[in-house]
Amino acid sequence: MIIAVDGPTASGKGTVAKHLATRYGLKLLDTGTLYRAVGLAVLDAGGDPADEAAALAAARALDLDAIDQDRIRSSAAGTAASKVAAQPAVRAVLLKAQRDFAANPAGAVLDGRDIGTIICPDADVKLFVTASLEARTERRLKELRGRGETIDFETLKAQIEERDARDMGRADAPLRQAADAHLLDTTALNVEEATAAAFRIVDAAREV
């Protein structure tokens, strides 16, 4: 079974994907980590994530086993990720690793922006997880403060809005709900409720 989970930043898609993988015994790939690692590598090299040559070189050099899972969670890495992700050459390099992962005979859950539309258009179940801008800002604020980053609500909200616009507005593989994806709005749901709703969607889809 392949489950595709897409949605905007801080929608809860990562948490939902993690619980789905555990419940159904599937491998999990958070595809955002790939773009974050590329963006961070460009920043670490002193480059500009919007610079196509720098981003492409970082994507080609990416070592999946050497990704610093802590440093890629910073807001700077997130913004850089969104910038490198807008470049078709970078997406082309990262496509194969994602498709290979999805081909795992044991099945897989992948979460990102274009899983249901581009990476796994034939996924068995597709979820599009979203939440209001305010709810997503609140969640990301908690996460970043937990990491020791100091940022105020309005600044973060503007950053998230800008990232949404870039992820949805790019020409190549923009963030959008696949026609056959189930919508899961987590605005008013806590983690348990969102997870339970996702389980219901997948269980119902498997019965068909």
4, 20, 102, 112: which one binds ligand DC (CB under 6 A):
112
The verdict on 78 binding ligand DC (CB under 6 A) reads yes
Q: How many CA atoms lie within 13 A of 8 on its CB side?
A: 26
E strands present in the chain: 2-6, 27-30, 108-112, 125-130, 182-185
Given the complex with ligand DC, which of 7 and 197 has the nearer CB atom?
7
The verdict on 140 binding ligand DC (CB under 6 A) reads no
Which pairs with CB-CB distance under 8 Å and at least 24 residues apart come from 29-33?
29/98, 29/101, 29/102, 29/108, 29/109, 29/110, 29/111, 30/111, 30/112, 31/94, 31/98, 31/110, 31/111, 31/112, 31/113, 31/115, 31/119, 32/81, 32/111, 32/112, 32/113, 33/67, 33/69, 33/72
The verdict on 128 binding ligand DC (CB under 6 A) reads no
Structure tokens belonging to residue 30: 């958070």
29, 35, 87, 198: which one binds ligand DC (CB under 6 A):
35
The verdict on 130 binding ligand DC (CB under 6 A) reads no
The verdict on 195 binding ligand DC (CB under 6 A) reads no
Given the complex with ligand DC, which of 142 and 200 has the nearer CB atom?
142
Stretch that binds ligand DC, among 41-49, 75-83, 179-187, 200-208 (CB under 6 A): 75-83
Rounded to a whole number of angstroms, the minimum distance from the CB of residue 33 to ligand DC is: 7
Structure tokens belonging to residue 10: 């801080």
12, 15, 167, 178: which one binds ligand DC (CB under 6 A):
167
The verdict on 75 binding ligand DC (CB under 6 A) reads no
15, 31, 87, 195: which one binds ligand DC (CB under 6 A):
31
Tell me which residues touch ligand DC (CB under 6 A). Answer: 9, 31-32, 35-36, 78, 81-82, 85, 112-114, 163, 167
